[in-house]
Amino acid sequence: MSRKVFYGSDTFGIKDYRFFQMNSLSFNEASYVAEYRVLYGDTDTMGQAYYANYLKWFEIGRAELFRKGGFSYREVEEKGIYLPVIEAFCKYHEPAVYDDIILIASKFTLERRIRLRFDYEIYKKNNLTSLVATGYTIHVCLNRQKRPVRPPAFLLEGLQRASEE
């Protein structure tokens, strides 16, 4: 089964692709796919991407999903909403190495009333059957006083809109 999803980024000077044909079954649920080239500084002495960078790449996917929804993290924070990570998970399937171009697929779901969940899959662009990592982050919405609040309408609507396109 295949599905068209939005693909591309202008944040990191990467080419802007409008649609990318996803053929992998697990990729079908992605709301957004960002592209990133693994830098030499992203690797360890074995030439593989350092394990903590995968969480950074998840953030790239999440930030681009926000932009697809019509706003940035900065704009959310300017409205007095903060989204700290309260849980993160990453399963490593195959290493990414220097100069690999990876695709970061992101998907949003509302979990409970104040939690936002983002699921991620990372693939190598030159081989979409090459699953690099999967994972998720769960965020809670906090107000300026750092108290838990329900996600505001603009945030939910933007993320749901980004997920439906």
The amino acid occupying position 11 is T
Alpha carbon distance 163, 113 (integer Å): 18
Task: Output the pLDDT for position 127.
Answer: 86
Largest CA distance in the chain: 46
- For residue 144, the model assigns a pLDDT of 95
Write down the H helix ranges in the chain: 53-68, 73-78, 153-164
The arrangement of secondary structure in 3-164, i.e. its CATH architecture, is Roll (3.10)
**Which amino acid belongs to residue 160?**
Q
**CB 162, CB 153: distance < 8 Å:** no
Question: Which of the residues in the chain have pLDDT under 70?
Answer: 1-31, 165
The confidence score (pLDDT) of residue 134 equals: 94
C-beta pairs of 70-78 under 8 Å, 24+ apart in sequence:
70/158, 70/161, 70/162, 71/154, 71/155, 71/158, 76/155
Cα gap 113→72, rounded to integer Å: 22
Q: What is the pLDDT of residues 7-24, one digit of tens each?
A: 444 333 333 333 333 334
